[in-house]
């Protein structure tokens, strides 16, 4: 019996060594074939927001050096990629980071200060006096940190801003790791930022130069509105924007009152006036556009201008309804924005997508007017295109930077899932965003911001509100 066992063992040793060697060599060959990447994300769904709006089931995204290198079925990803870090999103949809194409970040400190009144009363009686009294570098620093923290927690990875101290806005965005197009504000009247239009322009160009080599921060000219900026600075903006190859964002045709006043003053509707100055071009981001005639929609389409639709701000201020469906049908690129925290009163692009979709159906009298996948495009790739950033962000594609948002769907509120895109627009809330990456950096991890101190931001913002409340009462 003993002898038999020993023999069996010896035979076993003799047979297994070559087998192990074969397995080891085969494993090494397998490892040699594996490509090394920084990050591999395995998801239940990947919604890349590319042509034909695919929903990719059980796919993975490979990220290296901040960029997406591959999107492929998870079974293939496991065979082809070895990652430093792997994330399991088996109950999630991975979507492109959302792009808020119009906001005034620092105004989050005025959230809830004055509600339920018309635009001009809101501006003239409340916002402009409060800004004259309170806005300074520290205000913009805290207000922008508050806004950026809210935007990141809502899945926004890029925002187009218009406010005073754009240098501070850019620095806060850089520190937070969020992409920003910082608006170089221009307005005829003096503020704490600049004394006259030329000074706004000079300071704006200096801000542009200071961020020239920043990977996350770009700039645009941001003349406030046709009724607050005269022809001479608008003409300068046209030529500087052309020379510097940066966009121009302006509030335009926000209310019927704006049009009536402009016609009385100049005999021209504001869009016509901007066109006569040469500003209606592919560089133009026309924000609001609630008052549009069919010839104007045609002009926007043929000129390649972009419209930024801010449905919740327009509804709250009863400004009017942007004819989104007609604009899209004409071929105009329409992006989405929240506007500032004082006129919305949140910076929630999920809410904005839903409102845009519902409102467009109501305005057009047609439930097919703005399908969910179009609302998602407006909040992602259309925003990137308007800002000239569609080569970098706005969709999930190999070669683009890894601006990726994970949305968790295994909640009561989003069960069951027949179509994840439907849920993104019609069912889920921003609190279902679990993780956010920008240029491959993990800026929100399981709902905790990694670059900003949320408690500190809340305390600083509360201190500002106490000051504003005490001195204004």
Interface residues with Zn ion (CB under 5 A) are: 339
> In terms of CB distance, is 93 or 99 closer to Zn ion?
99
For residue 125, the minimal CB distance to Zn ion (Å) is 17
For residue 438, the minimal CB distance to Zn ion (Å) is 24
> In terms of CB distance, is 339 or 401 closer to Zn ion?
339
> In terms of CB distance, is 224 or 392 closer to Zn ion?
224
For residue 204, the minimal CB distance to Zn ion (Å) is 17
For residue 336, the minimal CB distance to Zn ion (Å) is 13
Q: Are 145 and 172 in contact (CB under 8 A)?
A: yes
For residue 277, the minimal CB distance to Zn ion (Å) is 21
> In terms of CB distance, is 103 or 434 closer to Zn ion?
103
Q: Which residue's CB comes closest to Zn ion?
A: 339
SS3 422: helix
Rounded to whole angstroms, how far apart are CA atoms 311 and 156? 17
> In terms of CB distance, is 339 or 373 closer to Zn ion?
339
Q: Are 99 and 379 in contact (CB under 8 A)?
A: yes
How far from the centroid of its chain's Cα atoms is residue 56's Cα? 22
For residue 340, the minimal CB distance to Zn ion (Å) is 6
For residue 430, the minimal CB distance to Zn ion (Å) is 20
> In terms of CB distance, is 296 or 339 closer to Zn ion?
339
> In terms of CB distance, is 312 or 339 closer to Zn ion?
339
> In terms of CB distance, is 227 or 426 closer to Zn ion?
227
Rounded to whole angstroms, how far apart are CA atoms 111 and 33? 55
For residue 102, the minimal CB distance to Zn ion (Å) is 6
> In terms of CB distance, is 222 or 433 closer to Zn ion?
222
For residue 463, the minimal CB distance to Zn ion (Å) is 26
> In terms of CB distance, is 233 or 341 closer to Zn ion?
341
For residue 394, the minimal CB distance to Zn ion (Å) is 21
Angle at CA of residue 89, ends 87 and 92, nearest 5°: 150
3-state secondary structure the chain: CHHHHHHHHHHHHHHHHHHHHHHHHHHHHHHHHCEEEEEEEEEEEECCCCCCCCCEEEEEEEEECCEEEEEEEHHHHHHHEEEEEEEEEEEEEEEECEEEEEECHHHHHHCCCCCCCCHHHHHHHHHHHHHHHHCCHHHHHHHHHHHHHHHHHCCEEEEEEEECCHHHHHHHHHHHCCEEEEEEEECCCCCCCCCCHHHHHHHHHHHHHHCCCCCCEEEEEEECCCCCCCHHHHHHHHHHHHHHCCCEEEEECCCHHHHHHHHHHHCCCHHHHHHHHCCCCCCEEEEECCCCCHHHHHHHHHHCCEEEECHHHHHHCCCCCCCHHHHHHHCCEEEECCCCCCCCCCCCHHHHHHHHHHHHHHHHCCCCCCCHHHHHHHCCHHHHHHCCCCCCCCCCCCCCECCEEEEECCCHHHCCCCCHHHHHHHCCCHHHEEEEEECCEEEEECCEECCCCHHHHHHHHHHHHHHHHHHHC
- Residue 281, class by beta-carbon neighbours within 10 Å (0-12 exposed, 13-18 middle, 19+ buried)? middle
> In terms of CB distance, is 131 or 339 closer to Zn ion?
339
For residue 112, the minimal CB distance to Zn ion (Å) is 17
């Amino acid at each position: 019996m003993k002898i038999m066992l020993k023999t069996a063992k010896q035979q076993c040793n003799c047979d297994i060594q070559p087998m192990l060697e074969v397995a080891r060599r085969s494993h090494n060959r397998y490892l040699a074939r594996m490509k090394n990447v920084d990050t591999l994300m395995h998801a239940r769904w990947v919604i890349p927001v590319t042509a034909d709006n695919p929903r990719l089931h059980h796919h993975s995204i490979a990220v290296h050096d901040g960029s997406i290198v591959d999107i492929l079925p998870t079974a293939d990803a496991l065979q082809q990629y070895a990652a430093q870090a792997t994330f399991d999103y088996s109950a999630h949809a991975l979507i492109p980071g959302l792009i808020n194409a119009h906001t005034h970040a620092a105004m989050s400190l005025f959230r809830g200060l004055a509600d339920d009144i018309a635009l001009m009363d809101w501006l003239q009686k409340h916002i402009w006096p409060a800004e004259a009294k309170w806005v300074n570098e520290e205000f913009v620093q805290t207000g922008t940190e508050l806004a950026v923290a809210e935007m990141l927690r809502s899945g926004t990875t890029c925002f187009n801003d218009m406010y005073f101290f754009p240098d501070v806005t850019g620095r806060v965005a850089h520190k937070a790791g969020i992409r920003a197009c910082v608006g170089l504000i221009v307005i005829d009247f003096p503020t704490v930022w600049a004394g006259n239009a030329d000074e706004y322009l000079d300071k704006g160009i200096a801000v542009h130069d200071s961020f020239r080599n920043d990977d996350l921060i770009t700039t645009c000219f941001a003349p406030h509105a046709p009724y607050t900026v005269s022809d001479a600075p608008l003409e300068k903006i046209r030529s500087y924007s052309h020379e510097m190859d940066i966009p121009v964002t302006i509030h335009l045709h926000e209310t019927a009152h704006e049009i009536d006043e402009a016609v009385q003053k100049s005999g021209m509707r504001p869009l016509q006036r901007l066109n006569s100055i040469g500003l209606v071009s592919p560089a133009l981001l026309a924000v609001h556009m609630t008052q549009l005639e069919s010839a104007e929609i045609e002009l926007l389409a043929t000129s390649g201008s972009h419209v930024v639709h801010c449905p919740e701000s327009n509804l709250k201020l009863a400004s009017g309804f942007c004819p989104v469906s007609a604009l899209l049908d004409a071929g105009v690129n329409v992006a989405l924005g929240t506007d500032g925290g004082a006129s919305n009163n949140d910076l929630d692009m999920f809410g904005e997508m839903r409102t845009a979709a519902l409102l467009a159906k109501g305005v057009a009298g047609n439930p097919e007017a703005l399908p969910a996948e179009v609302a998602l495009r407006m909040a992602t790739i259309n925003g990137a295109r308007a800002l000239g950033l569609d080569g970098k962000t706005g969709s999930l594609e190999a070669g683009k930077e890894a601006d990726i948002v994970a949305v968790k769907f295994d909640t009561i509120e989003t069960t069951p899932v027949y179509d994840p895109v439907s849920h993104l627009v019609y069912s889920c809330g921003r609190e279902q965003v679990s993780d956010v990456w920008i240029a491959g950096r993990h800026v929100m991890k399981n709902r905790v911001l990694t670059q900003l101190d949320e408690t500190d931001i809340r305390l600083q913002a509360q201190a500002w509100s106490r000051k504003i409340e005490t001195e204004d009462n």
